[in-house]
Amino acid sequence: MPFIPHTEDDLAAMLAAIGIDSIDDLFDEIPPSLRTRALEAIPPALGEMDIARLMQERARADGQPVCFLGAGAYEHHIPAAVWQIATRGEFYSAYTPYQAEASQGTLQLLYEFQSMMAALMALDVSNASLYDGGSGLAEAVLMAIRANRQNNSRRVLVPRTLHPAYRRTLESLVASQGIELVEVSFDLAEGHTPLTALEPLGAEPFAALVIPQPNFFGVLEEVDALTDWAQAHQALVIGVVNPIAMARLSPPGEWGAQGADIACGDAQPLGIPLSSGGPYAGFLCCKKDYVRQLPGRLVGRTLDRDGKTGFTLTLQAREQHIRRGKATSNICTNQGLLVTAATIHMALLGAEGLERVADASRANLDRLVALLSEIPGVEPAFPRAVFHERVLRLPGRPAELLRALAAHNILGGYDLGQAYPELDSALLVCATEVRTEQEMQTYAARLREIVAVH
């Protein structure tokens, strides 16, 4: 709702009706020691006009920089129709459809999302989304621990080439559950996870191997060899993928001889704006063998008694719906509005449109890298194939160069030294289909000037 409609008289009438003196009386079961103290840092209330002015000032302070920063969140073109449709009243409050018979539109949209994601990942089934890519990976790991019947290990191999934020989220969500996350090193010369880094870790049983594709450096991993190696060691394979990249790369379901078992990632590239860091939405797909371990919920298509197509909640793994001991998650609204936008986006672009986005992004990255590599001291760090990001070595400290670029309204990339001390002179740059030749020329010219000064 656009505003809170209850006046003081309304509140007084409601309190009188239930026989209490104040709203605080509703929480009298909570011991005083557990209650939040006064919110002293919250400023006094503002009127609507003042709030609008304040928010506009904050938005202007962000500016509109030209973005060459990826690192897990990407600026793609979003057709105007996507959010025009997503914000219709029928979709805007995208909450759990508890009454399936009254929520056919929402259920159909979620069914379409599942169908498209399963097709894009070449796997049998998809759930109706998660909160974001990082929490989606944590759910995938928990799922793999439950689903792996070949061994009882609670060890999971996690490459350092996985997104650092995903690794931190994973640690936060599963470490307290007795799951050991074993870090896998990467080849510093080529930026990928070689089999030689895995072989010593295979001496002890492990439940799953996580494989990012592309990895955090934009580098394409040898997914077929890694998948076959893990499955030969009786482990499941979890692919963490960029959905746009899957329009051109082999999807997880086709990795190796048997395909990855689980695929997850962030749906942000599919019609979801950057929005200063979120909210985004996650996806999770798997083979049919593991559907009973899939967290969240599934929407299915069926026929009613008159033979007409209908949609229903087929599987609900929340403790709110089933016995607590059999629940796999507490995934609730799961960013339903953003999934709505992602579904509309995929439907508008289709397979050919996604391929064009992937191709244009890769072409723009090649052009950007060629321009930046003409600057003395700037060169690509890893020689392997990439998608729409690449690591560049710089002649100066990335943090200083990025601050100077920001003064020219350019987000120049991600300073890899923040998460990888061994890459403290390296910058991760990104170019999607929205970057123009003029923008890339301007970036190169400004960086050349800054490097010359520093």
pLDDT 10s digits, 206-258 = 999 999 999 999 999 999 999 999 999 999 999 999 999 999 999 999 999 99
Residue 429, beta-bridge partner list: 390
Question: 114 and 131 share a domain?
Answer: yes
pLDDT for the residue numbered 61: 84
> CA 238, CA 143: separation in Å to the nearest integer?
10
Q: What is the pTM of this model?
A: 0.88
Which residue, among 387, 444, 378, has the nearest Cα to 412 in the 3D structure? 444
Kindly give the pairing relationship between strand 379-380 and strand 66-67: unpaired
Residue 309 pLDDT > 80, yes or no?
yes
Mean pLDDT of the chain: 92
Domain end: 318, 346, 374, which one? 346
Rg, Å, the chain Cα set:
24
Whether 329 and 302 share a structural domain: yes
pLDDT class of 454 with cuts at 50, 70, 90: confident
pLDDT for 97: 67
Check pLDDT > 60 for residue 320: no
Residue 30 lies in a domain: no
Nearest to 283 by CA among 320, 246, 256, 312: 246
Full domain range(s) for residue 388: 66-76+351-453
More confident residue, 305 or 198: 198
pLDDT of residue 1: 43
Mean pLDDT across the stretch 4-14? 89
Residues 313 and 339 in one domain: yes
Distance (Å, whole) CA 242 – CA 270: 10
Asked if residue 344 has pLDDT above 90, the reply is yes
Whole-number Å distance between alpha carbons of 115 and 105: 15
Q: Indicate which CATH number applies to the domain containing 150.
A: 3.40.640.10
- Asked if the structure places residue 46 within a domain, the reply is no
Evaluate whether residue 216 is within a structural domain.
yes
Q: Is residue 173 in some structural domain?
A: yes
137 and 200 assigned to the same domain: yes
In 3-state terms, what secondary structure has residue 366? Answer: helix
Q: Which long-range contacts (CB under 8 A, 24 or more apart) does 318-326 make?
A: 321/297
- pLDDT value for 90: 80
Domain total of the chain: 2
pLDDT above 90 covers what percent of the chain? 76
Hey, is 109 helix, strand or coil? helix
72 touches 62 (CB < 8 A): no
DSSP 8-class letter at 329: B
Residues 72 and 84 in one domain: no
Nearest-angstrom CA–CA distance, 255 and 65 = 38
Average pLDDT over residues 180-190: 97
At residue 324, the pLDDT reads: 60
**Residues 96 and 187 occupy one common structural domain:** yes
Say if residue 214 is in the same domain as residue 340.
yes
Q: In whole angstroms, what is the distance from residue 397 CA to residue 450 CA?
A: 11
pLDDT in tens, 18-38: 999 998 899 989 998 888 878
pLDDT of residue 359 exceeding 60: yes
- Is residue 342 domain-shared with residue 367, that is, in the same domain? no
The yes-or-no verdict on residue 65 having pLDDT over 90 is yes
268, 216: one domain = yes
